[in-house]
Structure 1
Amino acid sequence: MQTIELGRTGQHVSAMALGAMQMGGATDERDSVYMLNRYFEAGGSFVDTANCYEWWRRPGSLGGQSEELLGRWMREGNRREQVFLATKGSAVPIFSPDLWDDQGQPNWELARRTFEGAGADTLRHALDGSLRRLGTDHVDLYYVHVDDRSTPLEETLEALHGLVQAGKVRHLGWSNVRTWRLERIRQLCERNGWTLPVAVQQQHSYLRPGASADTPSIVDFEQLDYLREHPDQTLVAYSPILKGVYDSAAKRDGHWMMENYTGPDADARLAVLADVAAEAGVKPNQLVLAWLLHQESPRVLPLIGPRTRDQFDDALPALDVKLTDDQLHRLNNAGT
Structure 2
Amino acid sequence: MEMIELGQTGTHVSKLALGAMQMGGATGEPDAIRILDSFLDAGGTFLDTADCYEWWARRGSRGGESEELLGRYLKGRRDQVFLATKGSALPAYSDKLWNADGSTDWELARRTFAGAGGDTLRQALDGSLRRLGTDHVDLYYVHVDDLGTPLEETLEALDGLVRAGKIRYPGWSNVRTWRLEAIRQLCDRHGWAAPVAVQQQHSYLRPKVGNASASIVGAEQSEYLDQHRDLQLVAYSPILKGVYDDPAAQRTGAWALENYAGPDADARLAVLREVAGEVGSTPNRTVLAWLLHQTAPSVIPLIGPRTPGQLDDLLPALDIKLDAGQLARLDAAGA
Give the structure 2 partner of residue 298 of structure 1: 297
1:200-236 alpha-carbon deviations (Å, 9 max, x no partner) = 0000000000012110000000000000100000000
Report which stretch shifted further, 253-262 or 159-168. Answer: 253-262
Partner of 2:283: 284
Equivalence for 1:268: 267
Q: TM-score, normalised to structure 1's length?
A: 0.99
The alpha carbon displacement at 1:103 in A equals: 2.4
Query: Hey, what does 1:68 align to over in structure 2?
Result: 68
Measure the CA separation in 2 of the matches of 1:81 and 1:208: 37
Q: CA offset at residue 243 of structure 1? A: 0.2
1:236-255 matches, cutoff 5 A: 236-252=234-250, 253-255=252-254
SS at match of 1:156: helix
Deviation at 1:321, TM superposition (A): 0.5
Q: Is the contact between residue 253 and residue 261 of structure 2 (CA under 8 Å) also seen in structure 1?
A: no
Partner of 2:91 in structure 1?
93
Aligned structure 1 segments of 4 or more residues deviating by more than 6 angstroms: none
Aligned to 1:21: 21
Q: Which residue of 1 aligns with 2:169?
A: 171
Which one of 156, 159, 166 corresponds to residue 158 of structure 1? 156
- Contact 2:237/2:302 (<8 A) preserved: yes
Q: 1:44 aligns to what?
A: 44
8 Å contact 1:87–1:143 — kept in the other structure? yes
Distance in 2, Cα, partners of 1:169 & 1:26: 28
Query: Letter of the aligned partner of 1:29 in structure 2?
Result: E
Q: Distance in 2 between matches of 1:70 and 1:196?
A: 27
The whole-number CA distance in structure 2 between the counterparts of 1:293 and 1:216 is 23
- Tell me the distance in 1 between the aligned counterparts of 2:159 and 2:260: 37
**Counterpart-to-counterpart distance in 1, 2:148 and 2:256:** 28
In 1, Cα distance between equivalents of 2:328 and 2:296: 14
Tell me the residue number matched to 1:309: 308
User: Structure 2: which 5+ residue stretches go unaligned?
Assistant: none
How do 1:309-328 residues align onto structure 2 when only pairs under 5 Å count? 309-328=308-327
The whole-number CA distance in structure 1 between the counterparts of 2:100 and 2:273 is 43
The TM-score with structure 2 as length reference comes to 0.99
CA contact (8 A) 2:91 2:114 kept: yes
- Other structure's SS at 1:173 match: strand
Q: Which runs of 5+ in 1 are unaligned?
A: none
Tell me, in whole angstroms, the C-alpha distance in 1 between the residues paired with 2:249 and 2:270. Answer: 16
| 2:206 is the alignment partner of 1:208 | yes
- CA positional deviation for 1:158: 0.2
Superposed CA RMSD:
0.6
What does residue 221 of structure 1 align with?
A: 219
- Tell me how far 1:104 sits from its aligned partner: 2.1
Q: Alignment partner of 1:91: what SS?
A: coil
Query: Which residue of structure 1 aligns with residue 10 of structure 2?
Result: 10
2:258: which partner in 1? 259
Q: 1:8 touches 1:232 (CA, 8 Å); kept in 2?
A: yes
Q: Which residue is equivalent to 2:58? A: 58
Following the alignment from structure 2 to structure 1, what is the Cα–Cα distance between the partners of residues 265 and 88? 33
Q: Deviations over 1:155-188 (max 9, x none)?
A: 0000000000000000111000000000000000
Match of 1:81 in 2: 79
- Cα deviation, 1:44-94, whole Å, max 9, x if unaligned, reads 00000000000001111110000000000011xx11000100000000000
Partner of 1:197: 195
Residue 196 of structure 1 and its aligned partner are, at CA, apart by 0.7
Contact 1:7–1:199 (Cα < 8 Å) also in 2: yes
In 2, Cα distance between the equivalents of 1:240 and 1:310? Answer: 18
Cα distance in structure 2, aligned partners of 1:118 and 1:62:
18
Where 2:7 maps in the other structure, the secondary structure is coil
SS in 2 for 1:289: helix
